[in-house]
Amino acid sequence: MTTHHLAYVRACRGRSTQLGAYLRDLQEPVARLPGCLAFNVEPLPGGVWRLQGSWESLAARQRFFTAPLLQEMFSGLLRDGLLGSLECQSDEHG
C-alpha cells in the first residue's frame, strides 16, 4: 500500500534561509532511500518549509522516520537553533 507524509517545518525567526539549506541537503539522499517514490522540499511564505514524501509501503516510510540521516538532520536543526516548529501528517490509504 502506498503511503504519504507531509511535514511543515517552521524556522526560528530570521533563520529560514539556513533551515532551507538543511532541508534541501536532505532531499537527494532521502529520494535514494529504498521504497521512496518521491520526496520534495518546498518553501512557503512565513519561514515555513513543506516536505512531502511518498513511499511504497508503511515499512519504507517507517524506515525513513527512523533513519540516522533524518535523526542527524533534526539534531543539527536543534543544535543550530533553526527549528521553530514541526507538524507532520500521514495518509496511510494512498
Q: How many CA atoms lie within 13 A of 2 on its CB side?
A: 7
Q: Residue 82 in contact with residue 22, Cβ under 8 Å?
A: yes
Name the residue among 60, 57, 54, 73 with its Cα closest to residue 34: 60
- The per-residue pLDDT for 86 is 94
Q: How far apart are CA 55 and CA 13, in angstroms?
A: 32
- The per-residue pLDDT for 30 is 94
Domains and CATH numbers, the chain: 3-85 (3.30.70.100)
Q: What residues of the chain score a pLDDT lower than 50?
A: 94
- Which pTM does this prediction carry? 0.88
